[in-house]
A and B are shown apart, each in its own frame.
Chain A
Amino acid sequence: MICDECGQREATVTLTVVQGTERTLRNLCPECMRRMSNAKGMLSAIFAAAMANMAALAQQRPAETEVEESLEEEALPDKTCERCGMTYAAFKQSGRLGCPGCYEAFREELQPMLQQLHGRTQHAGRQPLQTEAARRTRSRQEELHRLMSEAVQREDFEQAAALRDELRAMAREAAE
């Protein structure tokens, strides 16, 4: 089966494109599917189609998927990390990113996933010592910890609580 789009390459997926009441069948090669998925609309549907296609390939038969065309649909992540060549689809399959650069390349797509996994998307923890600000924060935190244990030792719990609050606030600020 030849691709309806380019008329050259072998089509590997059949899409049923639904526009209002009209349905059209389209046979596409991977190349054209990728190109079309970069155009707006029908994107996550094509992603679903690609998934169905993979399942079908495993059984050696062409896939058939319905595609609802919609301009509001979220863009299908079909991106590639320039540093390591990892594609977003490959990441979705393996669950492992290719390199630290992937976080930049797939930032938009990773946000909702991180939100779902962790409930938050802003780091609040430790920072590398290399950043000067972090180094200053760290030494202030150490001082606060010292003052706090001194306050606890002399049973000045009010002071200790104030210091603890300051430490917590610093941890949050460090994240922002």
Chain B
Amino acid sequence: MSVSTVLSSRVRLARNYSDLPFDLSERPDLAEDCLSRTAGALATSGADKGFLLHRMADLSEGRRAFLAESRLISGDLARAVQTGAVLLNERDGLSVMIGEEDHLRIQAIRPRMELAEAAGDCFRLEDALSKQVSFAFDPELGYLTACPTNTGTGLRASILVHLPMVSQQGKSGEVSEMAARLGLTIRGVFGKGRLALGDVYMVSNHVTLGRTEEELISAVLAVGRHLTDLEATLRETSRREERLTLENRVYRAWALLRSARTLSSNEFYNLWSSARLGLSLGWIEAEADTLDALLWDTLPQHLVAWRETALDEKKLNEARAECVLNALGKLF
């Protein structure tokens, strides 16, 4: 299996200035101080190449929602309209969110299983900043954060994995239990509640204190590998024992994706998952990057940004189908 089941990797570091209260949402003066320190430190260090400063107040609601959908900023930051800001390097997937729950959320998103590299991106940014400013740190408790769930390393490492077979065979529960014992969480990415639309799952650490950053990242990678192996085994069995069923699923989805003129998000995720499975099995000709990009490009705010107009449910579904046709080519 040459196409990775790991879609992307993300690391974020929570950091705070020792002399400011955590919540700056009611204190525009302090929020401004926090912003100018951060932007100043990044500029002085010379690490600001490719970064642009955006104040939430200067961005349209649509643009804020678009950035949140892309995960380049958090939903909380998008809502911090008055005091939030972000130093963003969109091309390299790097963001320094300012005035979130913590003063700074340094984040890097990378493709595939480049989790260690994403961590490296964050550490480089942190090092650049901390040559100029000092962050709240306690020798016993580590980096101090607004919520004790992030105390210590302030690090959250996550990977997105596509697990159609694990999902279909109801194995995600037992994997979740194993992950929990390692201080990790597995949950669906798209859809509300316990749904994992598109069979896309996020594996992330919830423990942040008492382990080194390396250990936390290794744990996420280890569970990621375990899931990938389990998925591969299940696919192999299915390919051997239920080939017709599997082919039917993959080729139907592949044909529908390239023919549909309207696609609800639920239908899209189902078809996408089957097509992505076919791609991993080497049954369909497509670029993994193209298919994976559709996961984000078909999200509502992305479609609105693409069409440059507000869209109701019906128009969204039509735009989604057209977006897919453009990316994959029209069959009919």
The verdict on A62 contacting chain B, using a C-beta distance below 8 Å, is no
Inter-chain contacts of B16 with A (CB < 8 A): 100
Contact of A124 among B137, B147, B210 (CB under 8 A): B210
The verdict on A20 contacting chain B, using a C-beta distance below 8 Å, is no
As a 0/1 sequence over residues 193 to 224 of chain B, the CB contacts with chain A under 8 angstroms (1 = contact) are 00000000000000111111111000000000
Q: Provide the main secondary structure of the chain B interface.
A: loop
Known contacts: A97-B146, A97-B147. The answer to whether A118 contacts B22 by CB under 8 A is no
Known contacts: A118-B210, A123-B141. The answer to whether A97 contacts B22 by CB under 8 A is yes
Measured CA separation A18–B183 after assembly (Å): 41
Measured CA separation A127–B154 after assembly (Å): 12
The verdict on B148 contacting chain A, using a C-beta distance below 8 Å, is yes
Measured CA separation A153–B140 after assembly (Å): 37
Inter-chain contacts of B141 with A (CB < 8 A): 103, 110, 114, 121, 123
Inter-chain contacts of A103 with B (CB < 8 A): 138, 141, 144, 151
User: Which residues from chain A sit less than 8 Å from chain B, CB to CB?
Assistant: 84, 95-100, 103-104, 110, 113-114, 117-130, 171
Q: Which of B52-60, B126-134, B319-327 contacts A (4 or more CB under 8 A)?
A: B126-134
Known contacts: A96-B22, A96-B101, A129-B127. The answer to whether A123 contacts B148 by CB under 8 A is no
Shortest C-beta distance, B138 to chain A (Å), equals 6
Q: Is B137's CB under 8 angstroms from A128's CB? A: yes
The verdict on B251 contacting chain A, using a C-beta distance below 8 Å, is no
Number of contact residues on B: which range applies? 35 or more
Measured CA separation A122–B152 after assembly (Å): 8
The verdict on B18 contacting chain A, using a C-beta distance below 8 Å, is yes
Inter-chain contacts of B144 with A (CB < 8 A): 97, 100, 103
Measured CA separation A99–B135 after assembly (Å): 12
- A-B Cβ contacts below 8 A, count: 101
Which residues in window 225-261 of B have CB below 8 A to A?
A: none
> What are 21 A-B pairs at a CB distance below 8 A?
A96-B147, A97-B22, A97-B146, A97-B148, A103-B144, A110-B141, A117-B148, A118-B152, A118-B209, A120-B210, A121-B141, A123-B210, A124-B142, A124-B215, A125-B142, A125-B153, A125-B211, A126-B153, A128-B135, A130-B130, A171-B214
The verdict on B46 contacting chain A, using a C-beta distance below 8 Å, is no
Known contacts: A96-B146, A118-B183. The answer to whether A123 contacts B130 by CB under 8 A is no
Q: Is B148's CB under 8 angstroms from A110's CB? A: yes
Measured CA separation A99–B213 after assembly (Å): 24
Shortest C-beta distance, B129 to chain A (Å), equals 10
Known contacts: A96-B23, A97-B22, A97-B148. The answer to whether A121 contacts B131 by CB under 8 A is no
